[in-house]
Structure 1
């Protein structure tokens, strides 16, 4: 099989460190009948050991050359290859076809990681858990607590839907080509749907986007026209607060009060 040259447009940095791969597999604790979907299998660094632990694996891959390699190298009875963009992939249909909630894993391209996380958040009821290798900076934002500079829209929207744990830091030399940034492995476990207390998730999302869209401004200014000082004060929120000072629960309470 010919050598595959990593493509910048797909953000390809292939995992090559066997110790890191073993550590990821330990964190996954795969059971043979798990319904696992790997996003961006690349040259099979995780695919091979996953198949050693699973009856069947599903993968989503956009690179046609890699799709051809996968279909040539693995039996369809063991590996189902979905050719296409994970950002447009219907994980809900796959879960319905599988008859089980999905475990999603992947060494995600940095250039699509945030939109992909938001895309997957739309399939909450279909997910058992997710384990991703991401840029460390993104993981720091995902797990950030109120009050810090890393805390933002990504923190609020993902923490509302998932319990998130940073599991493992990974240096650039674990990849080929080596990226210019450090990476980290993160686990996301969906919160029970009954625990999601926003009355209107569209309103909640809009509120969070507006607040962090002008995060240096006080809430009385960033949310002007949507909520006034009196409404904020009635909820125990100072109009002089800035976006990063409010917790996830604060944003849910505020969004619910706006109805």
Structure 2
């Protein structure tokens, strides 16, 4: 049975064996490790991960693929491969692997939902040891962007607040079937155990950052004046005439601590 990539699922299947091995090597997983793979597709990366000895739980939305995957991996040791049919955006990852063993997340993430999916996955940072994702290169550029650059925005702040971000390598369109129209890149996200906002609801920071970047060309003062007491800017030692991309992650953390209430 030949499965054709479906546009509505954003499917581009990775087939380059060298790239697949490079991703698996980057994860560093081995016997006894628990991997959750998001969007296994036809199982090309899954196979390399299983060959490392890791246990793989794969989440697949396309209902036609699980039977193909079960047939492909039926001879693996019992319990080494598990397929979960469903939407990763709505799946409780912690419940997939009982106990408190650390999880390693891996996936060739669909371009059309990569940003909301990353935000969903960050909820599990306390259980997750590492994340290695294939993404559109421009998304990786935004994840890793430094303050003051055009790529720096809400995604940069929220991910860098919770993770160390390391772009690993670029993957050309020819490594996929069908070929996407853009370059892809693999990124490593390592959750920070020393997250500097302990005790504060991340949603508070997320709301503040979203409002701050509401209109990039406007100053912080203009973007936030309807939503917070502007004295908080002074209290946090921040110049309200700056544009939002000029603030570091630490600046946003300081501002979040100074802002006690956000009005919508």
Shared fold (TM-score, shorter chain, > 0.5): yes
Aligned length: 257
Q: CA deviation at 1:194?
A: 5.1
Q: Within 1, Cα distance between the matches of 2:253 and 2:5?
A: 42
Q: CA deviation at 1:215?
A: 1.5
| Residue-by-residue CA offset, 1:12-60 (whole Å, 9 max, x unaligned) | 0000111111211221222211011111111111111111112531100
Q: Which moved more, 1:161-170 or 1:219-228?
A: 219-228
Q: Which moved more, 1:190-199 or 1:110-119?
A: 190-199
Q: Secondary structure at the match of 2:104?
A: strand
1:194/1:113 Cα in 2 relative to 1: closer, same or farther (>3 Å)?
closer
Q: CA deviation at 1:227?
A: 3.4
Q: Secondary structure at the match of 1:195?
A: coil
Q: Within 2, Cα distance between the matches of 1:200 and 1:241?
A: 25
Equivalent residue, structure 2, for 1:130: 131
Counterparts of 1:77-226 in structure 2, within 5 Å, are: 77-95=79-97, 97-192=98-193, 195-197=196-198, 199-226=200-227
Which stretches in structure 1 are left out of the alignment for 5+ residues? none
Q: Within 1, Cα distance between the matches of 2:46 and 2:120?
A: 23
Q: CA deviation at 1:226?
A: 3.0
Q: CA RMSD in A?
A: 1.5
* Alpha carbons 2:145, 2:156 under 8 Å: kept: yes
Q: Which moved more, 1:232-241 or 1:114-123?
A: 232-241
Q: Secondary structure at the match of 1:60?
A: strand
Q: TM-score, normalised by structure 1?
A: 0.94
Equivalent residue, structure 1, for 2:252: 251
* Alpha carbons 1:91, 1:126 under 8 Å: kept: no
Counterparts of 1:233-244 in structure 2, within 5 Å, are: 233-244=234-245
Equivalent residue, structure 2, for 1:54: 53
Q: CA deviation at 1:198?
A: 6.7
* Alpha carbons 1:62, 1:83 under 8 Å: kept: yes
| Residue-by-residue CA offset, 1:153-188 (whole Å, 9 max, x unaligned) | 000000000111000111111101000010000001
* Alpha carbons 1:169, 1:183 under 8 Å: kept: yes
Q: Within 1, Cα distance between the matches of 2:140 and 2:186?
A: 8
Which stretches in structure 2 are left out of the alignment for 5+ residues? none
